[in-house]
Amino acid sequence: MHQYDYLIAGAGLYGAVMAHELNKRGKKCLVIDRRDHIAGNIYCEDIEGIHVHKYGAHIFHTSNKKVWEYMNQFAEFNNYINSPIAVYKEELYNLPFNMNTFSKMWGIRTPQEAKEMIAKQVAQTNITDPQNLEEQALSLAGRDVYEKLIKGYTEKQWGRDCKDLPAFIIKRLPFRYTYDNNYFNDRYQGIPVGGYTAVVEKMLEGMEVRTGTDFFEFREENPDIAETIIFTGMIDEYFGYKLGALEYRSVRFETEVLDCDNYQGNAVVNYTEREVPYTRIIEHKHFEFGKQEKTVISREYSSEWKVGMDPYYPVNDEKNNSLFEQYKELAAGEQNVIFGGRLGDYKYYDMDKVVEAALNRLEEI
């Protein structure tokens, strides 16, 4: 006899969608999370009345109408459009690379002029068979865009020189020959009014949720508590890292409350110079057009990851992907355990893709 139909380990977006849908279908679910809060990496902490994105800035964007409508059941979304700024030394540019960027960089006005300038700079590099990321970026963007906007930022992100990074990391560059600073191409975009934690709270409404509860300890004490387990933590940790640890890049945040109402005039400002140690500064209130008297900023530092630290970005290179495939084989042999989410699937998923993956998985169940 099991007390629950499902034990869901992880109260992030994936676990919450699964729990919500299973509960709706009459299944009895218990949701646990080892952190002391729900919502996983989309958790927002309330500081000075501002929703602070504790694990990194999150902007919801999707072209999938079904997913957009699904999310809108749990919150109304505002009309925030992500339009980051890049700072290189004393210069300031719009992102993504678009006519505003090119016009500022070269004093030009038309798409034709921008295309000619990029083609000229690309030709000057004389690179036909790029051997590393630097050569790849130069052969796609030319020297100015590479040196001012790509080089330092990428080196900080990966903790390595662009010459020592593989070319495949950059397949193509999203050049846009219009004066459009909208970072995403998706049809739908916004931030949930009330913040992301409230969305997850609503998904988990009426369900039993235990935070500060680690799955491995809990399972040891309650081996037969549920018929099926949905595990959204790290797949390698589930198997005690017995084949080795999958690698991640991590991010460290330094969050500060400032006694001013508007620090940088934009939610996201990237620092593309290598000498500035952080990659971005996020000013959280601008995601929700906040009018508070104070402001909260977070400096983001890209860092190495070691077992025990918060995992952020999976390193999906050949070595790690093949290790993941071996873990997946082990997972297939686990009776009544479903693995999912960004850590269970060892995959960088945007939020919409997480919702999509959970809804697809539910159909299979």
Q: Which residues contact 3 (CB under 8 A, 6 or more apart)?
A: 28, 30, 225, 226
Site for ligand FAD in 295-314 (CB under 6 A): 312-313
Is there a contact between 349 and 341 (Cβ–Cβ < 8 Å)? yes
The reply to whether 58 sits near ligand FAD by the rule CB under 6 A is yes
The alpha helices in the chain, defined as continuous H runs, are 13-24, 65-72, 99-106, 111-125, 133-141, 143-145, 151-158, 196-203, 215-221, 235-238, 318-332, 341-344, 351-364
Please choose, out of 10-18, 138-146, 148-156, 264-272, the segment that lies near ligand FAD by the rule CB under 6 A.
10-18
Instruction: Select the residue interacting with ligand FAD from 175, 215, 305, 327 (CB under 6 A).
Output: 215
Is there a contact between 238 and 272 (Cβ–Cβ < 8 Å)? no
Instruction: Select the residue interacting with ligand FAD from 84, 190, 195, 341 (CB under 6 A).
Output: 341
The reply to whether 351 sits near ligand FAD by the rule CB under 6 A is yes
- β-bridge pairing 280-283 and 50-53: unpaired
Number of residues that bind ligand FAD (CB under 6 A): 35
CA distance 228 to 337: 6
Nearer to ligand FAD, 136 or 228 (CB): 228
The reply to whether 349 sits near ligand FAD by the rule CB under 6 A is yes
The reply to whether 190 sits near ligand FAD by the rule CB under 6 A is no
Whole-number Cα distances in Å, 92 to 99, 235, 276, 337:
14, 42, 14, 50
The reply to whether 286 sits near ligand FAD by the rule CB under 6 A is no
The reply to whether 195 sits near ligand FAD by the rule CB under 6 A is no
Nearer to ligand FAD, 45 or 113 (CB): 45
Catalytic residue (choose from 34, 219, 249, 252) = 249
The reply to whether 233 sits near ligand FAD by the rule CB under 6 A is yes
Catalytic residue (choose from 14, 33, 55, 280) = 280
Nearer to ligand FAD, 81 or 117 (CB): 81
In angstroms, what is the minimal distance from the CB of 314 to ligand FAD?
A: 10
Is there a contact between 46 and 73 (Cβ–Cβ < 8 Å)? no
The reply to whether 279 sits near ligand FAD by the rule CB under 6 A is no
The reply to whether 54 sits near ligand FAD by the rule CB under 6 A is no
Is there a contact between 232 and 340 (Cβ–Cβ < 8 Å)? yes
Determine the longest span between alpha carbons in the chain, in angstroms. Answer: 73
The reply to whether 188 sits near ligand FAD by the rule CB under 6 A is no
CA distance 83 to 265: 11
Please choose, out of 50-58, 111-119, 130-138, 289-297, the segment that lies near ligand FAD by the rule CB under 6 A.
50-58
Query: Which amino acid, residue 306?
Result: K
**Across the beta sheet with 85-88, what order do the strands follow?**
91-94, 85-88, 268-271, 280-283, 295-304, 248-258, 313-314
Peptide bond preceding 174 in cis form (omega within 30 of 0): no
Nearer to ligand FAD, 58 or 148 (CB): 58
In angstroms, what is the minimal distance from the CB of 40 to ligand FAD?
A: 2
In angstroms, what is the minimal distance from the CB of 17 to ligand FAD?
A: 8
Q: Which residues contact 304 (CB under 8 A, 6 or more apart)?
A: 159, 249, 250
Please choose, out of 26-34, 71-79, 84-92, 150-158, the segment that lies near ligand FAD by the rule CB under 6 A.
26-34
Site for ligand FAD, rule CB under 6 A: 9-15, 32-35, 40-42, 56-60, 214-216, 232-233, 251, 312-313, 341-343, 349-352, 354
Catalytic center residues: 172, 176, 249, 280, 300, 348, 350
